[in-house]
Amino acid sequence: MTIPQHPGHPLFPVVAAALVDDAGRVLLQQRPEGKALAGLWEFPGGKLEQGETPEAALVRELLEELDIAVSPAALEPAGFASEPLADRHLLLMLYVVRDWAGTPRALEADGLVWCRPEDMAFWPMPPADGPLVRQLHAYLGFSAMTEAPGDSGMV
Ligand SMILES: Nc1nc2c([nH]c(=O)n2[C@@H]2O[C@H](COP(=O)(O)OP(=O)(O)OP(=O)(O)O)[C@@H](O)[C@H]2O)c(=O)[nH]1
Q: Does domain 17-143 have CATH number 3.40.605.10?
A: no
Indicate if the pLDDT at residue 152 is higher than 60: no
Output the residue whose Cα is nearest ligand 1's atom 5: 42
Q: Is the CB of 45 under 6 A from ligand 1?
A: yes
Q: Cα–Cα distance between 155 and 149 in angstroms, integer?
A: 16
Q: Cα–Cα distance between 143 and 48 in angstroms, integer?
A: 27
Q: Is the CB of 85 under 6 A from ligand 1?
A: no
Q: Is the CB of 17 under 6 A from ligand 1?
A: no
Q: What is the pLDDT of residue 98?
A: 98
Q: What is the pLDDT of residue 143?
A: 81
Strand 89-97 versus strand 11-19 pairing type = parallel
The stretch 24-32 carries a mean pLDDT of 97
pTM as predicted: 0.91
- Complex ipTM > 0.90: yes
Give the model confidence (pLDDT) of 60-76 as tens digits. Answer: 999 999 999 999 999 99
- Max CA distance (Å), the chain: 59
Q: What is the pLDDT of residue 142?
A: 78
